[in-house]
């Protein structure tokens, strides 16, 4: 008979069948659910849109492919792009060629003005990205407070494509406090891509986009993210390093610590230009998840 140790006695008397020897560490490369969307992604995504994709384009295809493969081999399995990032669909498709499609998640974004025929637009995307389907498709950069009504036709078209499994989840990215205020209460949003960091760099303001010395409203954005998350919408954070503004490692550390501490951001996307940046981001997220 197995000896009854004090620990086993306490576990049995408390109705606990087993306890881990130590709490499992969390990681940047963990698979996490995006709210109630039904889609799981790695907590960290590889973004291809730094300064509209210029930073990634200027790497050239060979160097970009090596960078994507380094990210994949490091555990990042979530890649995001957009029609606005000229040429990045094709570059990303080449970089991912030969990797099993079911091993990674793919998000892209269409221009919100394209309300006439989203099916044709996504057919083009499927050719450019060499993918039969998309895990997530977003309206890119909604900018008006009335966007849910103004873009109802586009929303309906995207919902139909979701029904046909061309995309698995839909949503929007936002630029500006006024359109952000319409995100809470919009149940159609499976996923919201929102700008968030610790000091408002490149974040949302009443003018739309903050630039230079002007900073976005961190307090209001943080409050809106809480509302968005509470309705079951998956939240992805962007501009965590201020689109490259945070050259001081202390700022990058503060931004990641702040965003992870909110408890409302499921995943985050960062644009990279070197393997060292990928490694730094993973290490920094891991450290703050378990600090």
CATH of domain 28-290: 3.20.20.100
Q: CA-CA distance, 204 to 218, in Å (whole number)?
A: 8
Q: Measuring CA to CA, how many Å separate 260 from each of 143, 156, 192, 201?
A: 26, 33, 16, 17
Q: Measuring CA to CA, how many Å separate 65 from each of 60, 92, 129, 276?
A: 9, 8, 14, 15
| Helices (runs of H) and strands (runs of E) counted in the chain | 11, 12
For the chain, which residues make up each domain, given as ranges? 28-290
Q: CA-CA distance, 125 to 174, in Å (whole number)?
A: 21
Q: Are 85 and 49 in contact (CB under 8 A)?
A: yes
User: What pTM was computed for the model?
Assistant: 0.90
Q: What is the DSSP string of 220-279?
A: HHHHHHHHHHHTTBEEEEE-TTGGGT--SHHHHHHHHHHHHHHS---EEEEE-SSHHHHH
Q: Are 254 and 210 in contact (CB under 8 A)?
A: no
Query: 208-209 and 204-205 as β-strands: parallel, antiparallel, unpaired?
Result: antiparallel
* 27 Rama sector, left if φ>0, alpha if ψ -120 to 50, beta otherwise: beta
pLDDT in tens, the chain (291 residues): 444 444 443 343 444 444 344 567 999 999 999 999 999 999 999 999 988 999 999 999 999 999 999 999 999 999 999 999 999 999 999 999 999 999 999 999 998 877 678 999 999 999 999 999 999 999 999 999 999 999 999 999 999 999 999 999 999 999 999 999 999 999 999 999 999 999 988 898 888 776 666 889 999 999 999 999 999 999 999 988 766 677 888 989 999 999 999 999 999 999 999 999 999 999 999 999 998
Q: CA-CA distance, 115 to 157, in Å (whole number)?
A: 8
């Amino acid at each position: 008979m197995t000896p009854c140790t004090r620990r086993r006695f306490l576990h049995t008397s408390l109705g606990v069948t087993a306890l881990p020897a130590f709490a499992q560490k969390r990681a940047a490369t963990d698979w996490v659910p995006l709210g109630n969307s039904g889609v799981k992604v790695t907590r960290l995504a590889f973004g291809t849109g730094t300064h509209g994709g210029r930073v990634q384009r200027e790497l050239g295809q060979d160097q970009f492919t090596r960078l994507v493969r380094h990210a994949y081999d490091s555990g990042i399995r979530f890649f995001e792009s957009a029609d606005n990032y000229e040429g990045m669909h094709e570059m990303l498709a080449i970089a991912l060629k030969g990797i099993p499609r079911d091993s990674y998640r793919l998000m892209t974004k269409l221009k919100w003005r394209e309300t006439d025929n989203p099916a044709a637009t996504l057919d083009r995307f499927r050719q450019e990205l060499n993918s039969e389907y998309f895990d997530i498709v977003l309206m890119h950069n909604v900018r008006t407070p009335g966007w849910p009504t103004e873009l109802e036709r586009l929303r309906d078209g995207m919902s139909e494509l979701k029904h046909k499994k061309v995309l698995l989840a839909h949503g929007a990215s936002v630029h500006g406090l006024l359109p952000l205020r319409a995100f809470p209460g919009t149940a159609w949003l499976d996923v919201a891509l929102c700008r968030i960091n610790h000091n408002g760099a490149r974040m949302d303001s009443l003018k739309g986009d903050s630039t230079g010395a002007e900073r976005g409203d961190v307090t209001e954005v943080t409050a809106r993210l809480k509302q968005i998350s509470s309705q079951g919408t998956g939240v992805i954070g962007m501009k965590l390093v201020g689109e490259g503004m945070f050259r001081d490692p202390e700022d990058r550390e503060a931004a990641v610590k702040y965003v992870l501490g909110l408890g409302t951001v499921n995943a985050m996307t960062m644009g990279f230009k070197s393997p060292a940046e990928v490694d730094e981001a993973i290490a920094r997220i891991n450290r703050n998840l378990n600090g």
